[in-house]
Amino acid sequence: MSNPTTSKANKTAISPTREENYPEWYQQVVRAADLAETSPVRGCMVIKPWGYAIWENIQRVMDKMFKDTGHKNAYFPLFIPMSYLEKEAQHVEGFAKECAVVTHSKLEAGPDGKLIPASPLEEPLIVRPTSETIIGESFSRWIQSYRDLPLLINQWANVVRMEMRTRLFLRTTEFLWQEGHTAHATQEEAMEESLRMLGVYADFAINYMAMPVLQGEKTESERFPGADRTFCIEAMMQDKKALQAGTSHFLGQNFSKSSNIKFLDADGQEKFAWTTSWGTSTRLIGGLIMTHSDDDGLIIPPRLAPTHVVIIPVLHKEESRTQVLDYCEKLKKDLRNINFAGRLLEVEIDARDLRGGDKMWHWIKRGAPMILEIGPRDIAENSVFLTRRDKSVKEKSAQKRTEFLATVAKQLQEMQDNLLNRALAFREANTVKIDTKEDFYKFFEGENSGFAYAHWNGSAEVEEKIKADLKVTIRCIPFDGDKEPGKCVITGEPSKQRVYFAKSY
Amino acid sequence: MSNPTTSKANKTAISPTREENYPEWYQQVVRAADLAETSPVRGCMVIKPWGYAIWENIQRVMDKMFKDTGHKNAYFPLFIPMSYLEKEAQHVEGFAKECAVVTHSKLEAGPDGKLIPASPLEEPLIVRPTSETIIGESFSRWIQSYRDLPLLINQWANVVRMEMRTRLFLRTTEFLWQEGHTAHATQEEAMEESLRMLGVYADFAINYMAMPVLQGEKTESERFPGADRTFCIEAMMQDKKALQAGTSHFLGQNFSKSSNIKFLDADGQEKFAWTTSWGTSTRLIGGLIMTHSDDDGLIIPPRLAPTHVVIIPVLHKEESRTQVLDYCEKLKKDLRNINFAGRLLEVEIDARDLRGGDKMWHWIKRGAPMILEIGPRDIAENSVFLTRRDKSVKEKSAQKRTEFLATVAKQLQEMQDNLLNRALAFREANTVKIDTKEDFYKFFEGENSGFAYAHWNGSAEVEEKIKADLKVTIRCIPFDGDKEPGKCVITGEPSKQRVYFAKSY
- What is the per-residue pLDDT across A311-320, written as a single tens digit (0 to 9) for each? 999 988 889 9
CA atoms within 13 A on the CB side of B357: 8
| Nearest-neighbour CA in chain A from B244: distance (Å) | 23
Asked whether residue A7 carries a pLDDT value surpassing 80, the answer given is no
Query: A-chain residues within 8 Å CB-CB of B46?
Result: 74-77, 138
| Nearest-neighbour CA in chain A from B281: distance (Å) | 14
Query: B-chain residues within 8 Å CB-CB of A72?
Result: 49, 52-53
pLDDT at B392: 87
- Give the nearest partner residue to B44 out of A49, A77, A92, using CB atoms: A77
The helix or strand, by DSSP H or E, that contains position A276, with its residue range, turns out to be strand A274-281
B72–A49 C-beta distance less than 8 A: yes
Residue in chain A nearest B79 by alpha carbon: A41
| CA–CA dist B247, B231 (Å, integer) | 6
The helix or strand, by DSSP H or E, that contains position B439, with its residue range, turns out to be helix B437-443
**Is the peptide bond prior to B485 cis by the omega test (within 30 degrees of 0)?**
no
- Give the nearest partner residue to A137 out of B40, B73, B80, using CB atoms: B40
Dump pLDDT digits (tens) for A188-217.
Answer: 999 999 999 999 999 999 999 999 999 999
| Nearest-neighbour CA in chain A from B335: distance (Å) | 18
**Residues B130, B226 contacting (CB under 8 angstroms):** no
What is the rounded average pLDDT of the residues A138-143?
98
Sign of the torsion formed by the C-alpha atoms of B74, B80, B83 and B86? positive
pLDDT band at A6 (very low <50, low <70, confident <90, very high): very low
What is the rounded average pLDDT of the residues A106-120?
93
B86–A115 C-beta distance less than 8 A: yes
Query: B-chain residues within 8 Å CB-CB of A45?
Result: 77
**Residues B37, B318 contacting (CB under 8 angstroms):** no
pLDDT band at B226 (very low <50, low <70, confident <90, very high): very high
Among B291, B292, B294, smallest CA distance to B16 is for B294
pTM of the model: 0.96
Among A425, A431, A428, A470, smallest CA distance to A451 is for A431
The helix or strand, by DSSP H or E, that contains position A466, with its residue range, turns out to be helix A460-470
Residue in chain B nearest A117 by alpha carbon: B101
pLDDT at B9: 55
Burial class (CB in 10 A: 0-12, 13-18, 19+), B444: buried
Asked whether residue B480 carries a pLDDT value surpassing 50, the answer given is yes
Asked whether residue B5 carries a pLDDT value surpassing 60, the answer given is no
Query: A-chain residues within 8 Å CB-CB of B80?
Result: 41
3-state secondary structure of B387: strand
**Residues A95, A85 contacting (CB under 8 angstroms):** yes
Asked whether residue B318 carries a pLDDT value surpassing 90, the answer given is no
Asked whether residue A11 carries a pLDDT value surpassing 90, the answer given is no
Asked whether residue A219 carries a pLDDT value surpassing 80, the answer given is yes
- Give the nearest partner residue to A138 out of B46, B77, B82, using CB atoms: B46
Q: Give the type of residue at B274.
A: W
Q: Which residue out of A41, A86, A156, A178 would a mutagenesis test of the B interface target, given it has the greatest number of B Cβ atoms within 10 Å?
A: A41
| Nearest-neighbour CA in chain B from A83: distance (Å) | 8
Query: B-chain residues within 8 Å CB-CB of A106?
Result: 96-99, 101, 162
Q: Which residue out of B75, B149, B159 would a mutagenesis test of the A interface target, given it has the greatest number of A Cβ atoms within 10 Å?
A: B75
Among A415, A372, A426, A409, smallest CA distance to A391 is for A415
Residue in chain A nearest B142 by alpha carbon: A48
B102–A101 C-beta distance less than 8 A: yes
**Is the peptide bond prior to A16 cis by the omega test (within 30 degrees of 0)?**
yes
What is the rounded average pLDDT of the residues B341-364?
95
Q: Which residue out of B115, B122, B142 would a mutagenesis test of the A interface target, given it has the greatest number of A Cβ atoms within 10 Å?
A: B115
Residue B247, strand partner residues: B232, B279
Contacts of A391 (CB under 8 A, 6+ apart): none
| Nearest-neighbour CA in chain B from A240: distance (Å) | 30
Query: B-chain residues within 8 Å CB-CB of A124?
Result: 104, 117
| Nearest-neighbour CA in chain A from B99: distance (Å) | 5
- Give the nearest partner residue to A77 out of B46, B48, B124, using CB atoms: B46
What phi and psi, each to the nearest 5 degrees, are found at residue A180? -90, 140
Contacts of A37 (CB under 8 A, 6+ apart): A31, A45, A46, A48, A168, B138
Asked whether residue B191 carries a pLDDT value surpassing 90, the answer given is yes
Q: Which residue out of A71, A79, A142 would a mutagenesis test of the B interface target, given it has the greatest number of B Cβ atoms within 10 Å?
A: A79
- Give the nearest partner residue to B75 out of A47, A80, A162, using CB atoms: A47
> Which DSSP category does B108 fall into?
E
**Rg, C-alpha atoms of chain A:** 26
**Residues B375, B314 contacting (CB under 8 angstroms):** yes
B74–A46 C-beta distance less than 8 A: yes
What is the rounded average pLDDT of the residues B312-333?
94
Count, in order, helices (H) and strands (E) of chain A. 14, 27
pLDDT at A1: 41
B77–A44 C-beta distance less than 8 A: yes
pLDDT band at A2 (very low <50, low <70, confident <90, very high): very low
Query: CA triplet A425, A339, B344: central angle to 5 degrees?
Result: 125
The helix or strand, by DSSP H or E, that contains position B477, with its residue range, turns out to be strand B473-478
Asked whether residue A4 carries a pLDDT value surpassing 70, the answer given is no
Other beta carbons less than 10 A from residue A499's beta carbon: 22
Asked whether residue A260 carries a pLDDT value surpassing 90, the answer given is yes
pLDDT at A5: 46
Query: A-chain residues within 8 Å CB-CB of B40?
Result: 81, 134, 137
**Residues A51, B23 contacting (CB under 8 angstroms):** no
The helix or strand, by DSSP H or E, that contains position A264, with its residue range, turns out to be strand A262-264
Asked whether residue A493 carries a pLDDT value surpassing 70, the answer given is yes
The helix or strand, by DSSP H or E, that contains position B45, with its residue range, turns out to be strand B45-47
| CA–CA dist B224, B36 (Å, integer) | 28
| CA–CA dist A233, A280 (Å, integer) | 10
CA A488 remoteness from chain centre: 32
Contacts of B390 (CB under 8 A, 6+ apart): B299, B369, B415, B418, B419, B422
Sign of the torsion formed by the C-alpha atoms of A200, A204, A207 and A210? negative
| Nearest-neighbour CA in chain B from A41: distance (Å) | 7
Asked whether residue B417 carries a pLDDT value surpassing 70, the answer given is yes
Virtual CA dihedral for A250, A253, A258, A263, nearest 10 degrees? Answer: 120
B107–A99 C-beta distance less than 8 A: yes
Other beta carbons less than 10 A from residue A96's beta carbon: 21
Dump pLDDT digits (tens) for B387-410.
Answer: 999 998 889 999 999 999 999 999
The helix or strand, by DSSP H or E, that contains position B424, with its residue range, turns out to be helix B401-429
pLDDT at B1: 40
B44–A79 C-beta distance less than 8 A: yes
What is the rounded average pLDDT of the residues B246-268?
97
Query: A-chain residues within 8 Å CB-CB of B174?
Result: 77-79
| CA–CA dist A184, A37 (Å, integer) | 41
Query: B-chain residues within 8 Å CB-CB of A74?
Result: 46-49, 52
pLDDT band at A9 (very low <50, low <70, confident <90, very high): low
* Residue B240, phi-psi category: left (phi > 0), alpha (psi -120 to 50), beta (remainder): left
Q: What is the 3-state secondary structure (H, E, C) of A91-134?
A: HHHHHHHHCCEEEEEEEEECCCCCEEEEEEEEEEEEECCCCHHH
Asked whether residue A377 carries a pLDDT value surpassing 90, the answer given is yes
| Nearest-neighbour CA in chain A from B108: distance (Å) | 7
Q: Which residue out of B62, B102, B145 would a mutagenesis test of the A interface target, given it has the greatest number of A Cβ atoms within 10 Å?
A: B102
Query: A-chain residues within 8 Å CB-CB of B72?
Result: 49, 52-53
- Give the nearest partner residue to A77 out of B49, B72, B174, using CB atoms: B174
Asked whether residue A124 carries a pLDDT value surpassing 50, the answer given is yes
Asked whether residue B229 carries a pLDDT value surpassing 70, the answer given is yes
What is the rounded average pLDDT of the residues B169-179?
98
Dump pLDDT digits (tens) for B336-352.
Answer: 999 999 999 999 999 99
What phi and psi, each to the nearest 5 degrees, are found at residue B157? -160, 170
B98–A105 C-beta distance less than 8 A: yes
Query: A-chain residues within 8 Å CB-CB of B44?
Result: 77-79
| Nearest-neighbour CA in chain A from B501: distance (Å) | 31
State the average pLDDT for chain B. Answer: 95
pLDDT band at B163 (very low <50, low <70, confident <90, very high): confident
Among B306, B313, B309, smallest CA distance to B376 is for B313
| Nearest-neighbour CA in chain A from B327: distance (Å) | 22
| Nearest-neighbour CA in chain B from A210: distance (Å) | 24
Among B305, B46, B66, smallest CA distance to A75 is for B46
Alpha helices in B168-309 (DSSP H): 187-207, 254-259, 283-292
Among A387, A492, A456, A451, smallest CA distance to A214 is for A451
A103–B117 C-beta distance less than 8 A: yes
| Percent of chain B's residues with pLDDT above 90 | 90
Residue in chain B nearest A353 by alpha carbon: B147
Q: Distance of CA A361 to CAs A250, A394, B8, Å? A: 46, 12, 75
